Amino acid sequence: MNEHEETEDLQAPAKLAEAFCGLQKERVLVPSQIDQEILSKAREHLRGSKRPFFSLPRWVALAASVALVCGLIYLSETRDKTFAAEDINRDGVVDILDALALARKIEAGEKGEMDFNRDGVIDERDAATIAIDVVRLGRGGRS
């Protein structure tokens, strides 16, 4: 049996169905003025809520905004910043960590303007130069 099918015990005799319909005291008629008022308000809303050509879910828009703000902050902090040549790890400070970073780069065979002792060769002595310079001058300030 179809689950939507009505068995006899779920049906009302015609007399009863008719009586149900006559049960309500009065039928409410809607004045045309009310029709106008409702439709006018509805149209006002419908006109003001046209779907944009391209719309995104709110959470996507929010995430995009946050990412944009973070990006701008990052760029504003880094765009014009210049680092000293010796500030190998670009953390804004020339210290013993830069000497270590340079030693690793040299060990890894990286090339670049890293001839800090100006002897024409890029080797561990350039890293030592930075280390000695940091210790001798007590440097460690921002680059």
> Which residues are near other proteins by CB under 8 A?
3-4, 6, 9-10, 12-13, 15-17, 19-28, 30, 32, 34-39, 41-43, 45-47, 49-51
In the complex, least distance from residue 7 CB atom to other proteins, rounded to whole angstroms = 8
CB of 42 to other proteins, least distance (A): 4
Min. distance of Cβ 62 from other proteins in angstroms?
18
Nearer to other proteins, 24 or 78 (CB): 24
Smallest gap, in angstroms, from Cβ of residue 87 to other proteins?
54
Joined together, the tokens standing for residue 126 give 């350039």
Q: Which tokens is 140 given?
A: 């460690």
Residue/partner pairs of 122-131 with CB below 8 Å, 24 or more apart: 126/102, 127/99, 127/100, 127/102, 127/103, 128/99, 130/86, 130/88, 130/94, 130/98, 130/99, 130/102, 131/96, 131/99
Q: Of 22 and 120, which has the nearer Cβ to other proteins?
A: 22
Q: Name the DSSP letter for residue 25.
A: S
Which residue number, 49 or 78, has a Cβ lying nearer to other proteins? Answer: 49
Indicate the residue among 23 and 108 with the shorter CB distance to other proteins. Answer: 23
Report in angstroms the alpha-carbon separations of 50 from 47, 55, 118.
6, 11, 69
**62 HSE (CA, 13 A, CB side):** 3
